[in-house]
Structure 1
């Protein structure tokens, strides 16, 4: 996540290609990238327990050259689909605290609405949106590193 966030802070040659689509013509170029990066995002998400969305967005941008707002929207649809499948599996197993989940969902919906408004405001200032997103990726990367390092440091002393 630290590397991905750092790479996002680099100036890009352009704003991305808002016309990018997966078609028969683009598939030979896009499919290998999408499958490879998708596999890597899934691997990292599963292994480290980090949010896939923070890796899917930069991965989509790398694989397709799409602009950040389009990658965010595409990522949200993908995360919703496999999140629903995973949630159904956990619900069938009886591993959900429904009152807690309901409150968390309510907070998430309200936060999502507020975040959408903020994103729309920043969309006109593409660099600000990119820097904000990259900063969050780096911040969460540092959190993951700290959570992993603290137990190791405790066992040394």
Structure 2
């Protein structure tokens, strides 16, 4: 591995961590494009596998702080994670069966869709005391399980942590506040990332050297992002919109540079 690749991997990890620190999620969706177009990982499948390992590692590290602050709904996270792991395992197998270039096209389209959804104003649902108990199970389980399966399938197929999908999914299912949804989502991101990473690692589709560099850069980027986020304070909404525009632009570039038409179109 030459010095240029090493620096590109560290800086890419730093960029992902910076975004995670600033807006609380979504940085992992840039991991695959960064690995392919900046670091120079030649295979889309290898990029997905490598990104999955790095995302899982960074999520575990971030989870510790949120858990200490009491911002994790463990039972809700457990149900969502189990359902998500089943979906991720199925999604990862399906993703490996898809041609690499077509997979990048689908990934680019997903990025565009996610970016557009992030630009929409969301109503904040507040139920900070929500808990999964025997009394609430009849209401919460029919919401947590199918949403978890769907999010997990997408995470496994595209090799992403899925925080940008898990957070709104948890809010939709339980009405927990955003701060709790972010903390709780890290349990799920860790589980889904581990499931996807294991699937790709068993197929020999993980570049462990690049993974280590991504994670090293991610630690520094996350610390810097959290510090910058505190300084910017009330501008979080603008940061999220700015990030959404970046996601849309990168998604458009991925689709345009793939060199093939959309799936099913010659």
Select 2:136's aligned residue among 26, 40, 60. Answer: 26
Select 2:182's aligned residue among 67, 72, 81. Answer: 72
Distance 1:69 1:17 in 2: 11
Contact kept in structure 2, 1:57 and 1:68, CA below 8 Å: yes
User: For the structure 1 residues 97 and 71, does the alpha-carbon distance in structure 2 shift closer, same or farther, using more than 3 Å as the test?
Assistant: same
Please state how far the C-alpha of 1:56 moved relative to its aligned partner. 0.8
Asked if 1:38 is matched to 2:145, the reply is no
Counterparts of residues 73-152 of structure 1 (less than 5 Å): 73-118=183-228, 125=234, 128-129=235-236, 132-133=239-240, 135-137=242-244, 139-148=246-255, 151-152=260-261
Alpha carbon RMSD of aligned pairs, Å? Answer: 3.2
SS of corresponding position for 1:94: coil
Contact kept in structure 2, 1:5 and 1:134, CA below 8 Å: yes
Moved more, 92-101 or 20-29: 92-101
Please state how far the C-alpha of 1:43 moved relative to its aligned partner. 3.6
Distance 1:85 1:121 in 2: 36
Contact kept in structure 1, 2:161 and 2:190, CA below 8 Å: no
Distance 2:229 2:143 in 1: 27
SS of corresponding position for 1:58: helix
Query: In the alignment, what sits opposite 2:65?
Result: none
CA offsets per residue over residues 118-145 of structure 1, 9 Å max, x none?
55667x75xx545544653464245335
Contact kept in structure 2, 1:68 and 1:130, CA below 8 Å: no
Distance 2:148 2:160 in 1: 14
Please state how far the C-alpha of 1:41 moved relative to its aligned partner. 1.9
Please state how far the C-alpha of 1:27 moved relative to its aligned partner. 1.4
Query: In the alignment, what sits opposite 2:118?
Result: 5
Select 1:54's aligned residue among 137, 160, 164. Answer: 164
Mark the runs of 5 or more structure 1 residues left unpaired by the alignment. Answer: none
Q: Aligned residues, how many? A: 148
The TM-score normalised by the length of structure 1 is 0.70
